[in-house]
Copies of this chain bind each other. A is one copy, B any other.
Amino acid sequence: MKNMIIASTSTIFGSGYLDYILEELRSHFKNVNTILFVPYARPSGISHDDYTNRAKDAFSKININVEGIHTFKNTTEAIEQAEAIFVGGGNTFVLVNQLYKTNSMHALIDVVKNGTPYLGTSAGSNICGLTMNTTNDMPIVYPPSFKTLGLVPFNINPHYLDPISGSEHMGETRETRIKEFMCYNTQPVVGLREGSWLHVNGDSIILKGNLSARIFKHNQTPYEMETGSELSDLK
């Protein structure tokens, strides 16, 4: 039975790494001694070791140990034997490329479906959707496919950002970008604002945090879904 937290971001403005969601994580990972951390997305290009230490520092506050997947010889085995898994944010292209390179995709799908508690933030949340086509990241490497874990029946856009009123920048707004996606694809997209997360429990998918989420469906006007809503029918 799936047990996942799919968070828009690791960090909200003015607080430390994972601080805003730490109490939620304490209960999500209760009875877990050690989390397997996947640092592949390398935010700002930092090393796997440095990124793992950042996760270690955060989880030490709730007395949970963290091990980086890159320290294991056999990554598939590390995933299969993990008590819990945390895939951190960074660049989704780099993350997905490395997950394919290490044959980790199927192992991740299997263990999460079988109940290994999962936490994703940002890029680590984007990959929970059907494809990575709605990432905000720059395509700095070319992965073998855009297909991702498909652990929820829609796509995710993390760090969802409302149009900035008064902006004179002519680049596309986030809403325009996702609407363009809807011209070529039929699956729904959930725009998760910073501070929001999805709690997946078996077949249930509940929107958590203080904010609403923006929902994009094929041939429909985008609309808001209030926090506390059930999203499992969205497909």
Contact = CB atoms under 8 A, between A and B. Distances in A.
Interface in A33-84: 42-45
A91 B42 CA distance: 26
A233 interface: no
Contact of A140 (B91, B93, B141, B184): B184
Contacts of A146: 139, 142
The number of times this chain is found in the oligomer is 2
Interface string A118-161: 00000000000000111111111110011000000000000101
B138 A177 contact: yes
A38 B217 CA distance: 29
Interface size on A, as a range, is 35 or more
A11 interface: yes
A181 B140 contact: yes
Contacts of A210: none
Contacts of A168: 13-14
Given A13-B169, A136-B172, 17 more contacts: A9-B171, A42-B183, A43-B172, A43-B180, A44-B176, A45-B179, A91-B180, A133-B142, A134-B140, A135-B138, A136-B138, A137-B177, A139-B146, A140-B177, A140-B180, A140-B183, A159-B169
